[in-house]
A and B are shown apart, each in its own frame.
Chain A
Amino acid sequence: MTKVDLSVNFAGLQMKNPVTTASGTFAARESGEFYDISRLGAVITKGVAAEPWQGNPTPRIAETYGGMLNAVGLQNPGAEEYIKKELGYLKDFDVPVIANLAGHSIEEYCAVTEMLNDTDVAMYELNISCPNVKLGGIGFGTDPKMAAEVTEAVKKVSRKPLIVKLTPNVTDITAIAKAVESAGADAVSLINTLLGMRIDLRSKRPLLANGTGGFSGPAVKPVAIRMVYQVRRAISLPILGLGGIMTGEDAAEFLMAGADAVAVGTAALVDPTAPVDVVEGLKAFMEREGYENIAALKAAFKG
């Protein structure tokens, strides 16, 4: 059996393994009731804005075949509360924290960035792609010029490496990836959720109070793999790959497609221990297949 080294260096961040949590599907206390979060390469926390956001009315969740829709609408308690409660709790764990940032405007994105600059957060992930918030998100992530503008503005005030999270709801994701690369992003993550909708045939209304919502889970994996593959060929920044990862083999598929690290999202809602199970599954897969490290696994891809 091959001895496996799972560690990676992701945009300067040393990680014991390439597995992290997808934003919005991890809460330190609650997820930590099911597994030791220090076993993960990093954790990405739920989207946080400078001020508290109420989010959308309920129902916010709907099931779909092999996945789910969510329209949480980025409900969050604001940066001050986040620093106290979430970061305060995460201090005691041996795991780097990546803060996912939300905003309705460039000013708001910069405000939350500045509020977190003096914390222990290792890295930022800029959510320019959440499809739920009518006022903002969607505009930035779907237009190369606006995506570059917000990246540049946040990069200017940020004292930490910056991942820019891309939305799949575009015609050509490589155009956005190139735009944020030239604007100074240190890495990209993809994919955020796909815009979806379901209708309740009994009430004849959308299942979600918001009408539409973000589609995630194993059903979206092929779309995510294709996009990681395309972006890998278009830019040279490190890529955090996510979208439908349920198992260690799924993670390996993302790494071969071009990702340098991965995140587990919906899987962790439907099975709370999924992130650590993916770490173990990836390790077992690499032992079985004879990959000594992540670089070797990535290099084996023939596509």
Chain B
Amino acid sequence: MSEAIRTKPLPATRTGSAAASVTPAPEASRISLRAGEEALAALSSALDLGLPTQPKTSESKNGRMALWLGPDEWLIIDQNGADLMALCATVSAPHSATDVSHRNTAIIISGPGAADAINGGCPLDLSLKSFPVGACTRTLLAKIEIVLYRSSEDTFRVECWRSFAPYALGMLAEGAMDASA
């Protein structure tokens, strides 16, 4: 790989509050995966990860996550930076894998007030009953679109497009401040 320097959309500094920390996530590789039913088995096997077919659900294994975003759409994230495009290229059944590693960036919100912090701008019900661990969806955070994923009771991952990241970070930091007020 090149010596060229990567400039990430957000500084890796932790903000937030005692109730909810707000921290830009390390870089990861991502693809937007689109496919019909006939390609799911082959893609799941190529990615070594079952593609969930139920709304709002995800699968994860060894730092790789498959988030259901729509009936034929998944966001695949690999926190170890694996070449997901290459993995999908082995599948001949019709599908679309598109590299969005740099389009998206992620912010991790963690702590007992994490859900409250996100609810400062996100209108979804984030109770464990309605949004359990592993739940994921595309939704809104105030004026921007995000993908929200709950990785544990107290930890969420917010994915957004890179140019919206400072806004997302600002909203989440305010939400986190308020969650501890």
Partners in one complex: no
Which residues of B pack against A, CB within 8 Å? none
